[in-house]
Structure 1
Amino acid sequence: MAETFDLIVIGAGMAGISAARKCASQGWRVAIVDALPYGGTCALRGCDPKKILRRGAEIIDSARLMRGKGIDEAGLSINWADLMKHKEGFTDGVPASMEEDLAGSGVTTLHGEAAFVDSHRLDIDGVVHESRNFLIATGARPRPLDIPGHEHIIDSTAFLELETLPARVLFIGGGFVSFEFAHIAARAGAAPVILDRGKRPLKGFDPDLVELLVERGAEAGVEIRREATITAVEQAASGYRVRFDTSGEQSSLDVDLVVHGAGRIPEIAGLNLDAAGIAWTERGVSVGAHLQSTTHSGVYAAGDAADTPGLPLTPVAVFEGKVAASNLLKGTTTVPDYTGVPTTVFTIPELTRVGMLEQEARDSGIDLDVRYTDTGGWYSNYRIGEKTAAAKILVDRAADRIVGAHMLGPDYGELVNLIGLAMKLDLSTRQLKSMTASYPSAASDLGSML
């Protein structure tokens, strides 16, 4: 029998790390465990490394947009190996840095596969640890694909570790991962294809702006096949042959690489939750609004592993982790505030959203004012040569409050943060328009959008 703790955090991503630090700072005896290097998906295998690679794609695209406007981009290209080294310059140091910081905060750092033995004991690679409380923050993993030849498909983690980028890349699924990676690959000289089962990719975003993004991506070399169901992935003489069904017609594509971008599920299968009496579903650990397990008072969950209303985003995981820690420490039932949380697809240009979709707002009975503007000809976009940009802001006429905002364009992933803050603070559009912004900046466009 090993040590006894006040709290064991399972998962050393952003949700788990923030909670472990908070509880240790209050004198609790805290341990954290992960089978993978510390840092979680975002810092090591997702958001951060992806956006470093995107920087290379941004440079290429920016130069192309200024063709004939003073920039000669002839010969400009991405050196994939060097770009990956730049990415590794950030990611390689993260695990040791995270672990040192946790240890310095008084957190015991453990490594290995964790599984519950009973309601208060956790087996970590054969050593049993006891704790009064647990926080499950294990994140998510790629959804299993029941496709013949699935062993030939790589996931997003493997894509971010490619030493060379093949010429023909196929992405399965029309979500964040496929779109972001495809936009990078196209600017790096590859010919990416996205196969999506549905009629509309990026379903969580405004459909009008999604179509503008699809057109812009096509100009850059990103091909999208809709209503395409993959039936098999086979090895071919050169690379792989992907067979798929489109409206009853069989087709195939020969490619060099097939990448899984078809969604993720909570990473909880190996935790043996039933042994501890912890309820769960395919959406994650079943928790109340204050993040406490519905069946085990000593267990909380946060981030992608928890079944909450929060979007599967790193900032959401962080504040859920902090709220869970606060509730554990104080015995309170504080509920996380999800108001005004933006989400962005970092394609080129980026597509972003905060609040309701237009149809959701109409279905809710709001007296809706839809303020749509094509901003492709505005100064901020003319300056850099970008012609594809638009904003759709949804306003409740009666309350003069923004209930949703949708934007496609350069720097709009930053601009949407102002709207998110306005929604969180319950500001009216009149108050928001009274802001005097730095000019000329993307934020200075907000008053005109409203």
Structure 2
Amino acid sequence: MKIDEHKGHGRLVDAHTVEVNGQRYTADYIVIGAGCRDSKLDIPGQEFIHGSKDFLDLASMPKNIVFIGAGIITMEFACMALDLGSKVTIIAHGDRALRQYPDKYVSKIVEKMEKQGAEFKWNENVSCIEKTDAGYKLATANGLTIMCDYIMEGTGRIANIEDLGLEELGIKASRKGIEVDDHLRTSVPNIYASGDVVNKRIPKLTPTAEFESNYIAAQLLGKSDAPIAYPAIPNLVFTLPRIAQVGMTIDEAKKDPESFRIIEVPFGQINEWVNNRELDASHTYIIDKEGHLAGAALYSSEAGMMLDALTLVINCRLTGADLEKMIFAFPTQTYAMISGLIPLLIPLGSGDSASIYTMMLDSLSD
């Protein structure tokens, strides 16, 4: 594609110049996509802590693993370690895991992991790590001590902003990322930032970074000058089973009960025949006054594919009538999900089909 690649550390010299390995390159526009990295506790023995990339490079699974943090990365990897037979301990700074996801589904994951032998240590902060002949000894500020063979930390991510020349050009940045405007421009108008290096509330995901980069390309090519407008962004936790959500969250909907209905569907019970006998699979839908799907949360091993379909329903504001005009592949999880969703997508307070359907759901839940 006639793209030149220069391997090395890039540093801004001025608004139109980047230096790499002593060589300077000039351009009309510059895009910073430096990403982020695992954070690391600043404690004695920090050299014994491993990150997510180290974990993925393991030649064999350790018998006894401690995960520091109860976020997405640690919960995903802890589920894998449990299924592969390791003893797992999760040390969490707070009192629950996966705070950005529905508590009822997170609680189900935690309960399943505990039945597999995982131990959760809530409200604990690791204060030091010591290597001994028997393995690694972790101590917490509350006096708890734990022995293990391997330690992985997943307490967050830090934007890669160091030594890029940002300060000299007056570009504001912190460990959360580079500050940009609604066109993804830094304080230097011809310098943009994209992906995980941006300071934003939008989920820092691979598809989000791709969306932002395509947006910047359209700006530079003169195809658009509109501010960036993010669609509903699906996000998926690869625990076993998965937890997924898109659009408005359950907690947000609960704050405005007059505008939104929250309907939980025991998907696994209703669709035992299509969902691999995953009887505890569950879907929660958030429907607005006009009968549009505003958000969804799923608990299921098959959540990924179904989440993509729900994202289309939300972003295209499809109604039940719209979906009735379509035919989906049978027998698939998506077919079963859409069939059950259609009678729910009606304006608030109207229609008999939704009330009959919700009565059936209530009886199943009971």
Task: State the TM-score, normalized to the length of structure 2.
Answer: 0.87
Report how many residues are paired.
Answer: 341
Shift of 1:166: 0.6
Is the Cα contact below 8 Å between 2:92 and 2:121 reproduced in 1?
A: yes
Give the alignment partner of residue 193 of structure 1, picking from 89, 108, 113. 89
Is the Cα contact below 8 Å between 1:119 and 1:275 reproduced in 2?
A: no
AA in 2 matched with 1:393: Y
AA in 2 matched with 1:305: V
Shift of 1:309: 4.1
Q: Note if 1:415 corresponds to 2:311.
A: no
Partner of 1:287: 180
Instruction: State the secondary structure of the residue aligned to 1:271.
Output: coil
RMSD: 2.0
Is the Cα contact below 8 Å between 2:253 and 2:262 reproduced in 1?
A: no
AA in 1 matched with 2:202: G
Give the alignment partner of residue 67 of structure 2, picking from 165, 171, 189. 171
Q: Summarize deviations over 1:406-439 as a string: whole Å, max 9, x none.
A: 0001211110111111111111245346644322
Is the Cα contact below 8 Å between 2:161 and 2:175 reproduced in 1?
A: no
Partner of 2:357: none
Shift of 1:131: 2.1
Is the alpha carbon distance of 1:163 and 1:217 closer, same or farther for their aligned partners in structure 2, counting shifts above 3 Å? Answer: same
CA distance in 2, matches of 1:254, 1:180: 22
Is the alpha carbon distance of 1:365 and 1:272 closer, same or farther for their aligned partners in structure 2, counting shifts above 3 Å? Answer: farther
Is the Cα contact below 8 Å between 2:72 and 2:98 reproduced in 1?
A: yes
Shift of 1:151: 1.2
Is the Cα contact below 8 Å between 1:380 and 1:441 reproduced in 2?
A: no
Give the alignment partner of residue 388 of structure 1, picking from 263, 275, 280. 280
Q: Note if 1:223 corresponds to 2:119.
A: yes
Is the Cα contact below 8 Å between 1:381 and 1:387 reproduced in 2?
A: no
CA distance in 2, matches of 1:196, 1:312: 22
Give the alignment partner of residue 290 of structure 2, picking from 382, 386, 399. 399
Partner of 1:183: 79
Q: Summarize deviations over 1:107-135 as a string: whole Å, max 9, x none.
A: 11100111122222222122222222110
Is the Cα contact below 8 Å between 1:120 and 1:276 reproduced in 2?
A: no
Partner of 1:379: 271
AA in 1 matched with 2:153: H
Give the alignment partner of residue 267 of structure 1, picking from 145, 149, 160. 160
Q: Summarize deviations over 1:201-234 as a string: whole Å, max 9, x none.
A: 1111111111111112223343322222111111
Is the Cα contact below 8 Å between 1:117 and 1:123 reproduced in 2?
A: yes
Partner of 1:368: 260
Give the alignment partner of residue 139 of structure 2, picking from 243, 246, 258. 243
**Structure 1: unaligned runs, 5 residues or longer:** 1-104
Greater percentage in helix: 1
Query: Percent same amino acid at aligned positions?
Result: 27
CA distance in 1, matches of 2:115, 2:225: 51
CA distance in 2, matches of 1:402, 1:441: 21
Partner of 1:214: 110
Runs of at least 4 residues of structure 1 off by over 6 A?
none
CA distance in 1, matches of 2:165, 2:273: 53
Task: State the TM-score, normalized to the length of structure 1.
Answer: 0.71
Is the Cα contact below 8 Å between 1:344 and 1:353 reproduced in 2?
A: yes
Greater RCO (Cα-Cα under 8 Å, separation 6 or more)? 1
Is the Cα contact below 8 Å between 1:412 and 1:442 reproduced in 2?
A: no
